[in-house]
A and B are shown apart, each in its own frame.
Chain A
């Protein structure tokens, strides 16, 4: 038989048993769509994390108190020196490979102002901070070194805070109270979107570090020092430099361990990607299960239709079809069915990914190789279970195939 006739017969046969074909294809459609979407969600989350880390500023270096190896467990609370503004000044004055340095003093609490009140975090930083984090101002201005020195009660609001306190008015020039301390709003940050862990980079208030430490933190201390290296490839050298400056500043003798930890973006992203990789693996296993379930569905339909198909094979054999004719026909049918089911499944997954990306906070990212794998897998299941019963039937005597029940 010619290829054209074989294909025509296969398509006709599929169209003749619409219900059976549809149910078979449905298994493949669901299997493929499930796998592609699940993995896309995992990959999307991973991408989100990567973007988030990249958005930290690619040259970011973070110095935190405590040793990295012990994580503070061995040392305990009093065993390391707290960071001081002297440390920050030393870095600023002595380190050649950095663009900017800022302490980070964490605080937070009830904010009153505008139309009501809001609970959020307050970060005490220096003017360099904006550049270190690669953040932009929406309007107004950022505070200066003089504001830090003078412990001015000025602040810059994240867009989420503006939305909640000043939905209608321009907040600039307005007065707000942070834990009852009055602050003047001098600027508003551009909207940045979510962080990897789901918290918002926009739900934040920035204020001069010394103001926060004195007025709000009350006995707290500098929780980290944020530095941006001059360029990404200078990060390792910058870290070496920072290390010696910090050791000197903390007066550590040569044999002593560091009482601080320096991490760059690579370290941060490693930890974060590890988390999202676990998520991807989890989702992929769920998807794998659904592919198997889809495969079982295909198998069931195929087994149910075996009686009918065996009679059909008997009829074809009785009018002179060779076993090979039957096998080619069924194989073609199974391939046509799997390919079209797989294609619909891929389209469906694109549609679901579109919905996720546009109507939920979940992002889905479809990688081409995932499509190929899902397609191939579901197709193989379809072909195997479509072909296997046919092979068995084609090996029968025609009369046995006709009598099969």
Chain B
């Protein structure tokens, strides 16, 4: 029990659109341990993003409880929520969500600016290290519009890990990328996971889900399947295989 990092109790989210109530999550109970790599799957509209936003403290549930590191988040203040987003969780969005007209380096530094614990004073050095970890050391002064989609997503990943979070949440991180670039991104996630960061990601493709260690499948706002992956794929090997295929094609 002590190494449980995420636990939800009847987590429910109902959106209100005018008079109509849209149930997006219905009594979701999940438990995730430290160091896990979870892929969340399910049809469009099944509530995956809704769940991720709640786990990332970006949104509040309609009812139910969410325990993070054993602490119930339901009675936390807005500022505590902000601090959790800053300290514990890194979030990677499908649409990157980088600040426009702002360099990769400055985008990566952003979470450090709001770090009240002041763990690290040298923002620049920290951000450079994070960009190095995602293989972007040579693009630090580029602004998003000068970067490819894969590179932008790597900046977003660098930003999510710059403050050494315990958890990285990624909502369809490769949804806008081609398959080769996607495998590169999963390679980064697998490496981060090896280093001990808990990773939860949403993906539509069963092939990509095989990079994780566990799959949670959702339908109509409920968890319908929760299983361990037996024949897990290694992204580094996949990259080699793809490169060989490309060479043969050439």
Contact = CB atoms under 8 A, between A and B. Distances in A.
Contact of B99 (A315, A317, A399): A315
A297 B163 CA distance: 41
Given A16-B101, A16-B102, A321-B82, A316 B60 contact: no
A47 interface: no
B172 to A, nearest CB: 14
Given A320-B115, A322-B114, A17 B101 contact: yes
Nearest to A16: B101
A324 B60 CA distance: 19
Contact of A318 (B58, B83, B163): B58
A170 B82 CA distance: 89
A318 B91 contact: yes
A397 B60 contact: yes
A318 B115 CA distance: 13
B78 interface: yes
Interface bin, chain A = 20 to 34
B82 to A, nearest CB: 4
Contacts of A312: 99
B79 to A, nearest CB: 5
Nearest to B85: A320
A240 interface: no
Contact of B59 (A9, A315, A322, A399): A399
A322 B82 contact: yes
A5 B78 contact: no
Choose among A318, A323, A324, A399 the residue with the greatest number of B CB atoms under 10 Å from its CB: A318
A398 B111 CA distance: 14
Nearest to B88: A320
B6 to A, nearest CB: 18
22 contacts: A312-B99, A315-B97, A315-B98, A316-B114, A318-B85, A318-B97, A319-B86, A320-B83, A320-B86, A320-B114, A320-B115, A320-B163, A321-B82, A321-B86, A321-B114, A322-B78, A323-B79, A325-B114, A398-B59, A399-B58, A399-B59, A402-B93
B114 A319 contact: yes
A317 B85 CA distance: 8
B137 interface: no
A1 interface: yes
A316 B107 CA distance: 10
B19 to A, nearest CB: 19
B113 interface: yes
